[in-house]
Amino acid sequence: MNSLQFQKVVARDRVIHEVEKLDVECKKNDSMDTIFKILMEENSKVAEEIFEEYKLAGKTSLNVFEVTDYPQHLNSKKSLTAHIQKKLGIQTKVLDVKLNPQLTPEPQIYHVEEIEEGLRIIWVSGEEKTYENYYEYTTIVRPKYVVSIIRLGSPVFIEVRAGYTDSLAYFNLFKILLSSDNRPLDINHLPLTKVTEKEAEEIAEKLKAGLLEGEHLGSNGIGKYSISADRDTKDLRQVDEYTQNYSGKKYLAQTLNVYYEDMDSGYKTYVKFRLSMNGGFQFKTKVSEKIIKRIFDVFTEVRYKQQASGE
């Protein structure tokens, strides 16, 4: 881990919170590089722990699918790991090792890791690109990593940290991965992140979320309206002008702002995310794995009327 890697994914206010807990002088307008160096000097272990929380999350798009017809003989970490090992033709350890497949346009499995609820699978792909450098041409292949998670249980969920269209493509890769041969398994998906307006309203209510931006379908189904809250407005739904002009107009997307508090560390922050009614979900602020889980526990509660953890 270096400063650039850390800054790319970790929220600034989280680092300031940890530095202040150490009772070390830190100015709020200090650069992230300066704050990172202070934390590393004072307690590098804490810096590493924070990075682990954020490194595969950060500011990300993601989609979660309920898997219907999931093969029950693979509904345990042990059986699923053994299946993946056999599928990849690996005779040695498959968990917690970099598999380093050859880079191709088709995503390959790069890393498999056991987590509390299932397995985290990181995919890698790469395409050759040629660049002109004065009189020379250089061809390079840049790796692209995509994080996915299979959350086992009832129901089974597959989470893909990518845009909606790309997530569907990765779901198709899972159909092949879960099959006993090279033919796609006949399983279907229900997008947890594609919600109705009523579900979006329930999610916002349970998270006590403020509406920062509303995108509405235009009159007669033509075009769209995008209305954003000003700096001092916490919730557009509390603004009379907004409710009078746009109440009842179909939503295309909502950007919500949620207060979050980590009881273990005392860290408090606001989490902003954009929810598209046509599918697709994007965190607009940098988040940790715990924050992602908290938000999607509520999505699950609303969809399946189950009690969310952390309540």
DSSP 60-78: -EEEEEEEET--GGG-SHH
Would the pTM count as exceeding 0.85?
A: yes
Q: Please state at what angle helix 12-21 crosses helix 32-54, rounded to 10 degrees.
A: 100
Summarize the chain as % helix, strand, coil (round to 5): 35, 30, 35
At 293, phi and psi to the nearest 5? -65, -40
Rg for the chain (alpha carbons), in Å?
Answer: 22
Task: Quote the pLDDT of residue 139.
Answer: 86
Task: Quote the pLDDT of residue 189.
Answer: 92
Question: Which element (helix H / strand E) includes 41?
Answer: helix 32-54
Q: What is the dihedral of CA 229, 232, 235, 241, to 10 degrees?
A: -60
From first to last of the 311 residues of the chain, give the pLDDT tens digit: 889 999 999 999 999 999 989 888 777 788 999 999 999 999 999 999 999 999 999 889 999 999 999 999 999 999 999 999 999 999 999 999 999 999 999 999 999 999 999 999 999 999 888 888 777 888 888 999 999 999 999 999 999 999 999 999 999 999 999 999 889 999 999 999 899 999 999 999 999 999 999 999 988 778 888 999 998 999 999 999 999 988 888 999 999 999 999 998 999 999 999 999 888 899 999 999 999 999 999 999 999 875 444 44
Rounded distance between C-alpha atoms, residue 86 and residue 93, angstroms: 11
Q: In Å, how far are 57, 80, 188 from 2, measured between CA atoms?
A: 17, 34, 41
